Chain A
């Protein structure tokens, strides 16, 4: 039953992914010229002669002389059937090699941020609703407000400045200078924690603030409802009834927020990681866009889009599992 639902949703998503890939391909092709022309121009500017034959070989190899839609099909076919994401012009390596570790980092940081955001935001949101108009409520509403409105990359910028000025340490990158390139060890892990922590904190801030507000609003709505009064009138203890009823019900729409939270985290992570110079996809993506490294940029966009869509799928599935109103039909009140 549930499996059928999952399969059905996945099948529904396929045309979506198809459309997304077409859009990405179009966007990548937009900049006038292509990498090859830019590359050749750059070479010529620095006085190097470019071999016409080499140009022809490269052109043919990457299908740059074929019409656009053929190029698209070649690209897709390579990805789907051979796992070949193309070749990065900048690094002169297969894209998979270039992205590999960075992709892993992005996914890890995004997921950890997601968990941190949830763990922090949900209890604060619940408590703010229960103790509405208390000092706690006002303080966290204000903090949340600031977190939501001041953009992550500015906070990142200011943080680096402050840390540098007070400690003299340039808090960029994920590791301090001694550990870069060193093999993984416990010490390296510990060294990474403060920087990773700062990154996750900044990336998660906007999401946390938003979630707190949402949870608080949902809880306030539910706390007013009749079934809460019924439970109280039966003699159920206050803490128990809050957790059993309004929290459980308010959590449902929150679960569907995972769907948009994950892509917004990935999106925000791109900017912040550029500033903090983290070894994730952000900085690399920027460089590839500036250099019109088509395969690399396109693959980036494709992968993050797929992650986004997967996130939506997961939250849809979770929502179905958790809310019996959807499972057994009937109207969600």
Chain B
């Protein structure tokens, strides 16, 4: 081979160049190939970044939110989103953005609240400002917020305020903690039950398989959303939030594992007959080792993709149920609970900003789906 290389290198750059890059491609590991292919999928990368931002906002929501979720500003009920300005009424420019305080008038004819900006009352927006005290993750007390006004009476509602004068943006951020974490927690259990039961059914076959399959058949015969509604309605309304949260996780995973189990079962059934499985058995591998070292890695990427695509479904489930009044109750804040305020058409017509939680939901769901799509394309690097 050495002689061959010398000859080709000396006389033909073309052929040896092709061979080397192709060689690199051929010996790259499975995960390296996946990463290369994933990188090409720009949408997936953007989705990943957006999701990352959302999760950071959720994790550090006490810091990023200017106010705590229950803090009311009684003079600013139903206040529209603040108009952040750089130029004031006289046309002066200020690098530091500011808002004008709003004054409330009630229209005598329609009884509607009208907010007009009071150009006398200028309030600058500061970053890392001192505001309401809070405990950071229950660890230590602090009162630094990412942004806010310096005055305690004049709030900055960047996405508007609700009917009790609470900042919608802060509430959305606190709500994202619940909504976003819900996805991960439920999917964890779905993954656990689904792969366990599906794996057992597929690998062992026989009676185990039949029983598990019948159970799956029964569970999927009941339409999902009505069943979710029924189960969620069974949660006592006066349970503490954590219990309700866990109850909803339980409900989601109870029905969610069936799809994953079927897929895992199907994969294992076919892989069980593959030559490499038989080769492993002939080498003396135990069942356990075969399942975990040989079979599962061959469709691990497939599992990752499925899990990524299952997360938005659970987030949507929680949002839908809370939206309907089942599941999480106020004063707990989740995106679904926030959207309950936007249910009635009259409310929506006058305070359309109450739909902002929906935007966050859509962003999250789209993000996970694009990410999952990118992963799915990348997971088949040998295509």
* Residue of A146, A151, A164, A263 most packed against chain B (CB within 10 A): A151
Chain A: residues with Cβ within 8 Å of the partner, total of 50
Closest beta carbon of chain A to B60's beta carbon, Å: 27
Interface-lining segment among B156-164, B186-194, B279-287, B357-365: B357-365
Please indicate the chain A residues that have their CB under 8 angstroms from the CB of B343 in the complex: 275
Interface residues of B (CB under 8 A from A): 214, 217-227, 229-231, 233-234, 236, 312, 316, 319-320, 323-326, 339, 342-343, 345, 348-349, 352, 355, 358, 361-362, 365-366, 369, 373
Q: Are B233 and A308 in contact (CB under 8 A)?
A: no
Q: Apart from A16-B214, A150-B362, A153-B323, what are 7 other A-B pairs with CB-CB below 8 Å?
A: A20-B222, A148-B369, A149-B366, A153-B320, A164-B345, A285-B229, A289-B233
Q: List 12 A–B pairs whose Cβ atoms lie within 8 Å, in order of A's numbering.
A: A23-B218, A146-B366, A149-B312, A151-B365, A153-B320, A161-B352, A267-B225, A268-B225, A286-B324, A301-B230, A304-B226, A305-B221
Q: Are B362 and A301 in contact (CB under 8 A)?
A: no
Measured CA separation A30–B254 after assembly (Å): 15
Measured CA separation A142–B358 after assembly (Å): 20
Taken residue by residue from 151 to 185, chain A's Cβ proximity to chain B (1 for < 8 Å, 0 otherwise) reads as 10110011011001100001010000000000000
Residue in A146, A157, A172 whose beta carbon sits within 8 Å of that of B358 in the complex: A157
* Residue of B316, B325, B361 most packed against chain A (CB within 10 A): B316
Q: Does A249 contact B (CB under 8 A)?
A: no
Please indicate the chain B residues that have their CB under 8 angstroms from the CB of A153 in the complex: 320, 323
Please indicate the chain A residues that have their CB under 8 angstroms from the CB of B229 in the complex: 270, 285-286, 289
Measured CA separation A174–B102 after assembly (Å): 40
Q: Does A309 contact B (CB under 8 A)?
A: yes
Please indicate the chain A residues that have their CB under 8 angstroms from the CB of B226 in the complex: 267, 270, 285, 300-301, 304
Q: Does A139 contact B (CB under 8 A)?
A: no
Q: Are B222 and A30 in contact (CB under 8 A)?
A: no
Measured CA separation A264–B218 after assembly (Å): 15
**Shortest Cβ distance from B219 into A: residue:** A23
Q: Does A145 contact B (CB under 8 A)?
A: yes
Residue in A27, A270, A286 whose beta carbon sits within 8 Å of that of B231 in the complex: A27
7 interchain residue pairs of minimum CB distance: A30-B234, A289-B233, A267-B223, A267-B225, A149-B369, A19-B218, A263-B223
Please indicate the chain B residues that have their CB under 8 angstroms from the CB of A158 in the complex: 355, 358
Q: Are B349 and A165 in contact (CB under 8 A)?
A: yes
Q: Are A23 and B324 in contact (CB under 8 A)?
A: no
Q: Does A32 contact B (CB under 8 A)?
A: yes
Taken residue by residue from 2 to 24, chain A's Cβ proximity to chain B (1 for < 8 Å, 0 otherwise) reads as 00000000000000110110011
Closest beta carbon of chain B to A124's beta carbon, Å: 19
Measured CA separation A32–B219 after assembly (Å): 23
Also in contact, A27 and B230, with CB within 8 A (given A150-B362, A164-B348, A164-B349): yes
Also in contact, A289 and B352, with CB within 8 A (given A30-B234, A151-B365): no
**Shortest Cβ distance from B364 into A: residue:** A149
Interface residues of A (CB under 8 A from B): 16-17, 19-20, 23-24, 27-28, 30-32, 145-146, 148-151, 153-154, 157-158, 160-161, 164-165, 170, 172, 260, 263-264, 266-268, 270-271, 274-275, 285-286, 289-290, 292, 297, 300-301, 304-305, 308-309, 312
* Residue of B218, B225, B343 most packed against chain A (CB within 10 A): B225
Residue in B223, B320, B326 whose beta carbon sits within 8 Å of that of A289 in the complex: B326
**Shortest Cβ distance from B215 into A: residue:** A19
Please indicate the chain A residues that have their CB under 8 angstroms from the CB of B214 in the complex: 16, 19
Measured CA separation A145–B44 after assembly (Å): 13
Measured CA separation A286–B373 after assembly (Å): 34
**Shortest Cβ distance from B357 into A: residue:** A154
Q: Are A305 and B223 in contact (CB under 8 A)?
A: yes
Measured CA separation A75–B379 after assembly (Å): 51
Closest beta carbon of chain B to A176's beta carbon, Å: 14
Measured CA separation A157–B355 after assembly (Å): 9
Q: Are A154 and B361 in contact (CB under 8 A)?
A: yes
Also in contact, A271 and B320, with CB within 8 A (given A154-B362, A304-B223, A304-B226): yes
Q: Are A170 and B225 in contact (CB under 8 A)?
A: no
Measured CA separation A275–B339 after assembly (Å): 12
* Residue of A149, A172, A289 most packed against chain B (CB within 10 A): A149
Please indicate the chain B residues that have their CB under 8 angstroms from the CB of A23 in the complex: 218-219, 222
Please indicate the chain B residues that have their CB under 8 angstroms from the CB of A161 in the complex: 345, 348-349, 352, 355
Please indicate the chain A residues that have their CB under 8 angstroms from the CB of B352 in the complex: 161, 165
Also in contact, A170 and B345, with CB within 8 A (given A151-B320, A297-B230): yes
Please indicate the chain A residues that have their CB under 8 angstroms from the CB of B224 in the complex: 263-264, 267
Closest beta carbon of chain A to B217's beta carbon, Å: 6
Measured CA separation A300–B223 after assembly (Å): 11
Closest beta carbon of chain A to B365's beta carbon, Å: 5
Measured CA separation A16–B235 after assembly (Å): 26
Please indicate the chain B residues that have their CB under 8 angstroms from the CB of A170 in the complex: 345
Q: Are A20 and B218 in contact (CB under 8 A)?
A: yes
**Shortest Cβ distance from A259 into B: residue:** B220
Please indicate the chain B residues that have their CB under 8 angstroms from the CB of A160 in the complex: 345, 348
Residue in A157, A164, A260, A301 whose beta carbon sits within 8 Å of that of B222 in the complex: A301
Please indicate the chain B residues that have their CB under 8 angstroms from the CB of A268 in the complex: 225
Closest beta carbon of chain B to A45's beta carbon, Å: 15
Please indicate the chain B residues that have their CB under 8 angstroms from the CB of A24 in the complex: 222, 230
Please indicate the chain B residues that have their CB under 8 angstroms from the CB of A164 in the complex: 345, 348-349
Measured CA separation A17–B312 after assembly (Å): 30
Q: Are B221 and A145 in contact (CB under 8 A)?
A: no
**Shortest Cβ distance from B372 into A: residue:** A149
Measured CA separation A151–B230 after assembly (Å): 20
Closest beta carbon of chain A to B41's beta carbon, Å: 13
Closest beta carbon of chain B to A267's beta carbon, Å: 4
